[in-house]
């Protein structure tokens, strides 16, 4: 049963006019929460009303919806606040006009933070966010007798929904994208995690500097009583740490000096104490060693014991679309890593396998070349099937890597039978696109689901 909002007695938005810009799950949940908080809510979504089931559902709940466009004239209604869908850029004319009128524009996670009663853990970074968020949540629930840890945010569950279910004995573990963090004001995690920081979403942020600045907002409200967990294998993190007032918790897979969570003699360590063997982590790849270190650091800071941490990591089966094992057929193992929307994620996925890989890759062209991927292609990939806007660019990298078997397909679905024909018993068939999905699919989740369906159709088996 959801707890009553009045537990925290939030009256900030009572009788205030609030505009929710953009629907999807987070916009719907934000609108519903604001109504409970006594606000006069207007929802604006660009999708036409007759094609918009989410808008129709809100109208049936008595919430005003304007659909089909984002008219700047809406701001004539004297709104006190705009809650923006994280995917909508600040270059949007309505958003720009709101800021010009000095109307605060926040993200849905900021609204959630304002009514949250639970201890807050925030997880951001370029890669590994969802895995680390899930690991932490599972670790904190292992053997728990009071309260519960729940995850929310970019992981696919609106934070404004989950805050209605948690109280002071609980923990809210939030996956925070750079888009979400760009719109926070008071959000204050007691424990913050930055998994890594590469180059991503430049088309949205405008520059890498702006992207990094957005990520670092996760610590902007932290104090000396809080904790910031950082990947100390990345030299940039050493400098970025100076921006935080929190206690820095350092993690290192590569053996950096003076760290808190690290690998030594094949063991996951926490401050000179062995937690478990690296080989016993149940998901493959160097990236999952890094994910495990970040998660165990958060769990230890939160007071969890070693046995509970080891239990979770020994049995953790991975997260859907993040190097997800699908099934085995005729000696081939199929993996779905559709969440690999950048080069670094695909590099890490490839490095997790000792077997030969038939790689399926390609997607939205964001202006990158793939030279950096060539060394990993050379070392791990025997054949490659390419699709999407970047297929010819990836083919250039594959040729540079000396791969002789380069094939093209219409999309990630059509690539499956092609990849199977190129594979042999003992091979890995891996979807790890190194690109966003939006040229052919509405999301990486849809791309991954369609890939799994194609594998099931090809093999006559169901995913395990």
Q: How far apart are CA 241 and CA 254, in angstroms?
A: 19
Handedness of CA 257, 263, 266, 268 (dihedral sign): positive
Say whether 130 counts as a known binding-site residue. Answer: yes
Say whether 62 counts as a known binding-site residue. Answer: no
Say whether 129 counts as a known binding-site residue. Answer: yes
Q: How far apart are CA 440 and CA 446, in angstroms?
A: 10
For 297-318, letters b (16+ CB in 10 Å) and e give bbbbbbebebebbbbbbeebeb
Say whether 138 counts as a known binding-site residue. Answer: no
φ, ψ dihedrals at 317, nearest 5°: -95, 5
Q: How far apart are CA 207 and CA 199, in angstroms?
A: 9
Angle at 357 between CA 355 and CA 360, to 5 degrees: 160
Whole-angstrom CA distances from 183 to 97, 180, 211, 410 are: 16, 6, 13, 37
Residue 292, CA atoms < 13 Å, CB-side half-sphere: 33
Q: How many CB atoms lie within 10 A of CB 369?
A: 13
> Which helix (H) or strand (E) segment is 428 a member of?
strand 428-431
Q: How far apart are CA 341 and CA 432, in angstroms?
A: 8
Q: What do you get for the CA distance between the two ends of the chain, in Å?
A: 32
Which residues are bridge partners to 193 per DSSP?
Answer: 123, 229
Tell me the binding residues for ATP. Answer: 125-131
Residue numbers in the known binding site are 125-131
């Amino acid at each position: 049963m959801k707890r009553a909002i009045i537990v925290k007695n939030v009256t900030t938005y009572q009788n205030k006019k609030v505009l929710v810009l953009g629907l999807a799950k987070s916009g719907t949940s934000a609108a519903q929460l604001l109504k409970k908080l006594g606000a006069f809510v207007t929802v604006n979504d660009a999708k036409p009303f007759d094609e918009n089931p989410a808008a129709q559902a809100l109208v049936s709940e008595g919430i005003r919806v304007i659909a089909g466009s984002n008219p700047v004239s809406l701001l004539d209604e004297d709104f006190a606040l705009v809650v923006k869908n994280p995917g909508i850029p600040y270059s949007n004319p309505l958003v720009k006009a709101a800021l010009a009128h000095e109307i605060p524009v926040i993200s849905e996670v900021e609204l959630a933070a304002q009514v949250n009663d639970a201890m807050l853990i925030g997880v951001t970074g370029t890669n590994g966010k969802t895995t680390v968020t899930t690991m932490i949540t599972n670790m904190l629930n292992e053997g728990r007798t009071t309260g519960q840890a729940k995850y929310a945010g970019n992981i696919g569950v609106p934070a404004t929904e989950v805050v209605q279910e948690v109280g002071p004995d609980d923990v809210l573990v939030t996956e925070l994208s750079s888009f979400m963090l760009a719109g926070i004001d008071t959000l204050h995690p007691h424990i913050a995690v930055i998994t890594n920081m590469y180059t991503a979403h430049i088309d949205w942020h405008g520059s890498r500097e702006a992207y990094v600045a957005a990520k670092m907002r996760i610590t902007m409200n932290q104090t000396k009583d809080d904790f910031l967990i950082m990947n100390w294998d990345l030299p940039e993190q050493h400098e970025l740490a100076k921006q935080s007032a929190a206690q820095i918790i350092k993690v290192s897979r590569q053996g950096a000096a003076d760290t808190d969570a690290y690998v030594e003699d094949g063991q996951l360590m926490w401050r000179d104490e062995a937690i478990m063997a690296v080989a016993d982590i149940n998901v493959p790849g160097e990236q999952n060693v890094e994910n495990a270190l970040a998660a165990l650091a958060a769990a230890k800071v939160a007071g969890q014991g070693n046995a509970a941490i080891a239990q979770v990591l020994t049995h953790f089966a991975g997260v859907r679309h993040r190097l997800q094992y699908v099934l085995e057929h005729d000696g081939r193992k199929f993996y779905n890593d559709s969440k690999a929307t950048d080069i670094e994620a695909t590099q890490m996925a490839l490095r997790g396998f000792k077997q030969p890989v038939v790689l399926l890759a390609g997607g939205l062209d964001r202006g990158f070349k793939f030279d950096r991927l060539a060394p990993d292609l050379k070392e791990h990939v025997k054949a490659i099937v390419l699709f999407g806007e970047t297929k010819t660019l990836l083919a250039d990298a594959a040729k540079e890597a000396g791969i002789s078997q380069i094939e093209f397909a219409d999309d990630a679905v059509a690539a499956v039978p092609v990849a199977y024909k190129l594979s042999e018993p003992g091979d890995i068939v891996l979807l790890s696109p190194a690109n966003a999905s939006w040229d052919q699919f509405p999301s990486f989740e849809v791309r991954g689901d369609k890939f799994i369906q194609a594998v099931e159709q090809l093999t006559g088996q169901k995913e395990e």
